[in-house]
A = this chain, B = another copy of it.
Amino acid sequence: MAKSAGVAIGYLAERTGLAVSAIRYYEAQGLLEPWRNAGGQRRFHRADIRRLSFIMIAQQFGFSLPEIRGFLKDLPGGRTPTPEDWARISTGFRSHLDQRIETLRKLRDNLDGCIGCGCLSLPKCALYNPQDLAAEKGKGPRYLMGDRPQSQSEPQKEA
């Protein structure tokens, strides 16, 4: 099948619950690549509903738009993605998900053995040794999580 007439941006908005402005914003961020009709209006594939849903879900998981763009770049732009296409990208995405969930789980368990029991003497307590948490990986408020705390330089008194 050749490229159909495509759907308008308002239709996608209605179907996904996103604002029209958000969809245009995603295009600007390189997450979607609509074409234009004769009058200059954006036309999308129906399959972009799925693409947008994927974006919404990935955002729930805390992925940034650039990260999501990375996940999506393996989807074919020119044709409707097949189930196989989705399965392929889902593999990569899935491992990121697992990692994120695992990180949170670890952090929680860590916290459990830490705050919950009032382990005021534990030498590796995350609340005692925030530097382990705050090791400057990259910049901004980008504290690690996937990295296990370890090492310990100076001893410390009440904190």
With A101-B101, A108-B101, A115-B90: A130-B16 Cβ-Cβ less than 8 Å: yes
Chain B: which residue is nearest A100 at the CB level?
A: B104
Taking a contact as CB atoms under 8 Å apart, the answer to whether B118 and A86 are in contact is yes
Inter-subunit contact A53/B158 (CB<8 Å): no
Contact of A82 among B60, B118, B133 (CB under 8 A): B118
> CB distance A15 to B130 under 8 Å?
yes
Chain A: interface residue total (CB-CB under 8 A): 59
Q: In the assembly, how many copies of this chain are there? A: 2
CB pair B61–A128 under 8 Å, yes or no, is no
Cβ < 8 Å to B, chain A residues 106-158: 107-108, 111-112, 115-120, 126-128, 130-131, 133-136, 141, 143, 145, 157-158
Q: Max chain B CB contacts within 10 Å: which of A53, A83, A86? A: A53
Q: Give A residues with C-beta under 8 Å from B.
A: 15-18, 22, 46-47, 49-50, 52-54, 56-57, 59-62, 80, 82-84, 86-87, 89-90, 93-94, 97-98, 100-101, 104-105, 107-108, 111-112, 115-120, 126-128, 130-131, 133-136, 141, 143, 145, 157-159
